[in-house]
Amino acid sequence: MVVTYLNLIIQGVLLGGLYAIFALGLSLSVGVMRFVNIAHGDFIVLVSFLLLTIATALHINVLLALVLMIPVAFGGGWLLQRVLLQRVIGPNVLLPLLVTFGLSIIVQNGLLQGFGADTRTLSAGSLDTASLHIGGFYVGLLPVLTFALAVALVVGFDWLLYRSRIGASIRAVADDVAAADLIGLSSVRVYAIAMGIVGVTVAIAACFMGLRMNFDATSGPSRLLVAFEVVVLGGLGSLRGTLLGGIILGIAQTIGGQIDGAWQVLAGHLVFLVIFLLRPQGLLPRY
Amino acid sequence: MAVSSSAEVPLLSIEGLSVYYQQFRALHGIDIAVGQGEIVSIIGANGAGKSSLLKAIVSQVDRIEGRIQFAGANIANQPTPAIVASGIALVPEGRRLFPSLTVEENLEIGWQIGRKGSGVKLSEVFDLFPVLREKRRQPAWQLSGGQQQMVALGRALLADPRLLLCDEISLGLAPTIVNDLYTLLLSINQRGIGIVLVEQDIRRSLAIANRFYCLLEGRISLSGKPSDFDRDTITRHYFGS
């Protein structure tokens, strides 16, 4: 019994790593840039399809395809911000919501058109099924690697945001856009770089989500919901909180799924609601 | 020093500058020059167009007409980051620090926006404002008004400007702190940096200025050396009575 639950918690923590990777980009855009991207989940699914296409067309491992994808994703985020999202950023918070909601619909229907409604998954060869035997527990190598990557990303992005010069200018623009422009710190340029960074997190999330779970053209909104819950649980603006939020959601879903298969998703939402009621500012809020 | 240098090509030369905010015209074709290393005071009542002038120099107004030349190059309607990078730094009204950033991060923003290969070091700014060295890791919102003004001034200095634009730097500060700030402005000026001082409090700014311009309802009502005019004359042109 104890062993079973310990095992579930380990699985839940590892799943939480994946959720944290999902939520990292949203945490940056909502928590730091104060801008809600409804299409975040759809962008992740879009890049999963792109990775699948690249890996198949070039006959390369999907992890190698991810390496090729990262600069493209940075450029994509940069361009999206510069060409489209920059026009709607401002005091009216409804505009970016509406525009990204529209983007979400466009991406979903574009994917349906281009790739059909079939469910897909990514494969990284033998890594998919490799497992480790640690202290009486069997854990998949992929989930362990995903979790390690989640921790590394949280530490890395935390450094980027709170210790580096570009991070300081992103937070400066988030603090006061008008002041930044007044003294000659171009908010347009800073926002574009920040969105490029979000693009990189989207590409990484797309790869590891696709390796772990099935996806189809319309899976975006459910990914968005998970990402939102993780960000809010953890506290806005805190990347460590995002990791913690992911872990809590992962454990809740795994234990819920053990009680009854139908409870997996519901248990996650219930735990989210309870914590949200008790601590609406999140577990590790920065603001 | 100031007089001889202003006879050469001025550092900043503004000709026929008008500033518009939609239908409203804030400045009506004014001419202003600032020589190398000169301190020029812009005085005038509330709403006379002083802040509009500074914002027009760094391209932060709706629309302008006229010419703005800085170090021989036309900067009218250039993007603000390019103007700042060419050597004009603004200390904005109300300081406008980034509250969640630490003192040090706020100062380092100056490096990012300023002249490339900026020779000014963080330690030099801390030497000018020793109190900031102790508070370098604190978020800017925790500082007192005077300390925040030092950060705003330090941020502008780290941009390595040839011309410093100061918008109401004494507003809301205790008189002793204002004295300190003005002493610092003089030492900044001794590095050869030109300064444009916008103030409502004319006594202090005229005391350190080489020349001044008095603005009244968007036009220059009086200009020259502070010593050339008595107090009554200046007051009359200030209020337009």
Question: Which residues from A are below 8 Å from B83, CB to CB?
Answer: 184
- Tell me whether residue B226 is exposed, middle or buried, using C-beta atoms within 10 angstroms of its C-beta: 0 to 12, 13 to 18, 19 or more: middle
Q: Looking at CA atoms only, how far is residue A26 from chain B in angstroms?
A: 20
Give yes or no for residue A104 having a pLDDT over 60. yes
Q: What is the layout of strands, in order, in the sheet containing B219-224? A: B88-91, B163-167, B194-199, B39-44, B211-216, B219-224
Query: Mutate which of A160, A183, A236 to test chain B, going by most B C-beta atoms within 10 A?
Result: A183
- Output the pTM of the full model: 0.89
Question: Which residues from B are below 8 Å from A181, CB to CB?
Answer: 60, 80
pLDDT tens column, A195-251: 999 999 999 999 999 999 999 999 999 999 999 999 999 998 889 999 999 999 999
Choose the closest CB to A176 out of B80, B96, B113. B96
Measured between alpha carbons, how far is A31 from A287 in angstroms, rounded to an integer?
Answer: 9
Using DSSP, state whether B165 is helix, strand or coil: strand
CB B135 within 8 A of CB B65: no
Model pLDDT, residue A38: 94
Model pLDDT, residue B3: 45
Using the Cβ of A172 and the Cβ atoms of chain B, whether some distance falls under 8 Å is answered with yes
Residue A235: how many CA atoms within 13 Å on its side-chain side? Answer: 14
Give yes or no for residue A285 having a pLDDT over 70. yes
CB contact under 8 Å between B98 and A171, yes or no, is yes
| Proportion of chain A above pLDDT 70, given as a percent | 100
CB A250 within 8 A of CB A71: no
Measured between alpha carbons, how far is B28 from B49 in angstroms, rounded to an integer?
Answer: 9
- Only one residue has tokens 């390019």, namely B82
Using the Cβ of A68 and the Cβ atoms of chain B, whether some distance falls under 8 Å is answered with no
How far does chain A reach from its first CA to its final CA, in angstroms?
41
pLDDT tens column, B103-154: 999 999 999 999 987 678 899 999 989 999 999 999 999 999 999 999 999 9
Using the Cβ of B85 and the Cβ atoms of chain A, whether some distance falls under 8 Å is answered with yes
The rounded mean pLDDT for chain B is 91
Measured between alpha carbons, how far is B209 from B226 in angstroms, rounded to an integer?
Answer: 7
| Proportion of chain B above pLDDT 90, given as a percent | 81
Mean pLDDT within B48-69: 94
For chain B, list the strands marked E by DSSP.
12-21, 24-34, 39-44, 63-70, 73-74, 88-91, 163-167, 194-199, 211-216, 219-224
The rounded mean pLDDT for chain A is 93
Give yes or no for residue A151 having a pLDDT over 90. yes
* Strand (E) or helix (H) holding A133: strand A131-134
CB A85 within 8 A of CB A36: no
Superfamily of chain region B2-87+162-239: P-loop containing nucleotide triphosphate hydrolases (3.40.50.300)
Using DSSP, state whether B163 is helix, strand or coil: strand
CB B224 within 8 A of CB B43: no
CB contact under 8 Å between B84 and A182, yes or no, is no
Which pairing describes strands B163-167 and B88-91: parallel, antiparallel, or unpaired?
parallel
Measured between alpha carbons, how far is B86 from B176 in angstroms, rounded to an integer?
Answer: 34
Using DSSP, state whether B159 is helix, strand or coil: coil
What is the distance of C-alpha B65 from the center of its chain? 21
Model pLDDT, residue A115: 95
- Tell me whether residue B151 is exposed, middle or buried, using C-beta atoms within 10 angstroms of its C-beta: 0 to 12, 13 to 18, 19 or more: buried
Model pLDDT, residue B2: 43
Q: What is the CATH number of domain A2-116+139-278?
A: 1.10.3470
Q: Name the residue of chain A whose CA is nearest to B82's CA.
A: A184
More confident residue, A4 or A24: A24
pLDDT tens column, A34-52: 889 999 999 999 999 999 9
Tokens (6 digits) for B67:
């010419």
Question: Which residues from A are below 8 Å from B113, CB to CB?
Answer: 183-185
Instruction: Tally A–B CB contacts below 8 A.
Output: 69
Which pairing describes strands A131-134 and A137-140: parallel, antiparallel, or unpaired?
antiparallel
Q: Cα-atom radius of gyration of chain A, to the nearest Å?
A: 19
Mean pLDDT within A276-286: 89
CB contact under 8 Å between A183 and B113, yes or no, is yes
Residues of chain B with CATH 3.40.50.300: 2-87+162-239
Query: What are the residues whose beta carbons fall under 8 Å from the beta carbon of A179, sequence distance 6 or more?
Result: A172, B92, B96, B97, B98
Measured between alpha carbons, how far is A209 from A110 in angstroms, rounded to an integer?
Answer: 20
Give the type of residue at B68.
I
- Tell me whether residue A162 is exposed, middle or buried, using C-beta atoms within 10 angstroms of its C-beta: 0 to 12, 13 to 18, 19 or more: middle
Q: Looking at CA atoms only, how far is residue B230 from chain A in angstroms?
A: 36
Model pLDDT, residue B8: 67
Give yes or no for residue B1 having a pLDDT over 80. no
Binned at pLDDT 50, 70 and 90, residue A287 comes out as low
Q: What is the layout of strands, in order, in the sheet containing B73-74? A: B24-34, B12-21, B63-70, B73-74
CB A77 within 8 A of CB A195: yes
Q: Give the closest residue to A86 by CA, choosing from A202, A190, A198, A197.
A: A190
Query: What are the residues whose beta carbons fall under 8 Å from the beta carbon of A151, sequence distance 6 or more?
Result: A17, A243
Give the type of residue at B54.
L
Question: Which residues from B are below 8 Å from A162, CB to CB?
Answer: none
The number of residues making up chain A comes to 287
Tokens (6 digits) for A147:
């979790």
- Only one residue has tokens 């030497």, namely B127
Give yes or no for residue B168 having a pLDDT over 60. yes
